[in-house]
Amino acid sequence: MPKMKIKKGDKVIVLSGDDKGKTGEVLKAMPKESKVVVQGVNLVKRHTKPSQTTPGGIISKEAAIHVSNVALVTSEGKPTKVGFKTENGRKVRVARKTGEVIDK
């Protein structure tokens, strides 16, 4: 299983598909399936029955998208690949395009 370089909370841009060009924050990362859920991207409609807590009806929610179809966004708003570097004895993620350290 390859390690995912995109994590929850990262700002990403969609590279392919119906939502190409849209940006959003990663809400959930699923490394076993190599998928991520991005806020406001890949919206699907769900028909839900009413329950005690929810009224039911047609609800729009985000579906998972494959991690190869998204790229991390730099501070300039451009997509970049993610690399790793050792800094002060710690392994940190680095934007390949700019060389800046990606912090949370």
Look at residue 87 and tell me whether its pLDDT is greater than 80.
yes
Find the length of the chain: 104
pLDDT score, position 48: 95
Give me the percent of the chain exceeding a pLDDT of 70. 98
Closest to 81 (Cα-Cα) out of 94, 66, 100, 92: 94
pLDDT score, position 103: 79
Look at residue 73 and tell me whether its pLDDT is greater than 80.
yes
Domains defined along the chain, listed by start:
11-74 (2.30.30.30)
**Distance, CA of 29 to CA of 80 (rounded, Å):** 18
Tens-digit pLDDT profile for residues 4-25:
999 999 999 999 999 999 999 9
Q: What is the DSSP string of 73-101?
A: E-TTS-EE-EEEEEETTEEEEEETTT--E
Q: What pTM was computed for the model?
A: 0.86
Look at residue 1 and tell me whether its pLDDT is greater than 70.
no
